[in-house]
Every structure is written in structure tokens, then in C-alpha cells.
Amino acid sequence: MAILIKNASQPPTPEDGVRVLVEHKPPSGCPPEALALHASFAALAPSDELRRWFEERPLQWLLFRRHYLSELNEEPALQAFAQLHAIADSEATLTLLTLDDEPERSHGAILRDLLQGERKPPTNSGAARTASRGRSRARRRP
């Protein structure tokens, strides 16, 4: 399965396959039929508070990722992600549409990684630190 990420204001192309909006609302001034959407999942968009925080701190990608993953662990995002996963499993190509100017540094990229089974903790997360401490302790033991 191929998963693409595009800005929602870009016109649809045949390579897009199934197009899914993962935002609270479509881009302003763009009629929904122009987006050629298969589905829309507002519950998968980051909270307005988190989005504003990240816009002010664009270098804090890993921290944004951690907070966004926390938001995905709450209802109704869990249910929406399960539906998105079912769509991804049934289609050859899925295009996630966001409102971000840099789709590869957006929640769309995080969703793509999750759908492709590449969910890894951020490198500075507690889980990663704990795992690395366990390995170093194991090496020190006689």
C-alpha cells in the first residue's frame, strides 16, 4: 500500500488513489466536491491548541509528535484511526490531505508512519531512554 501526503488545496490527480481529509475542515474557499474525497476524519486532526503551539515552535517536531500521539490515544480519534486503517488496508494508494504547507512535517506524516506500522517512540522519550538504560546495564553485568 502506498500512502501519500498532500496539501488539501492541491488538485486531485489519478495517482492519489483514495483521498482522505484528516483536518477539522476543508481549506477555506474550496468546495468539498473539488477535493474528490473518499472520507474525512476531523477527529484525526491535531487540536487547535497543539497546532498553534507547533506553529510557534517548528523545531520541536519530536515533542509535537509525542503530544499528537497522545491525542490519538483518546476517543473519538481511536475510532477514526481504525476506520482510516481499514481504508488503507483495502486500497492500493491512499492520499492523506492536510492543510499544512509542509505535509512531510505534519500530522499526516505521523499518521502515514502509524498506518505503515512504523510507530516508534521519539528518540528523546522516556520509553527510549528506559530501553537504552536497560541495554547499558546489561552490558555492565559480569
Using one digit for the tens of pLDDT, what is the confidence trace for 76-127? 999 999 999 999 999 999 999 999 999 999 999 999 999 998 755 444 443 3
Q: How many domains in the chain?
A: 1
* Higher-scoring residue by pLDDT: 72, 121: 72
Average pLDDT over residues 48-52: 96
What pLDDT is recorded for position 73? 94
Q: Which domain holds residue 48?
A: 8-12+43-122
58: which residues sit within 8 A by CB, 6+ positions away?
Answer: 105
In a domain, 112, yes or no: yes
pTM of the model: 0.81
In a domain? residue 19:
no
Which residues does residue 20 pair with via DSSP β-bridges, in sequence order? 39, 96
- 139 part of a folded domain: no
Q: What is the DSSP string of 35-97?
A: GT-SEE-GGGSPPHHHHHHHHH-TT-HHHHHHHHHHHHTSTTHHHHHHHHHHHHHH-SEEEEE
- Residue 138 counted as domain residue: no
**The C-alpha cell that represents 35 in the structure block:** 477535493
In-domain check, residue 134: no
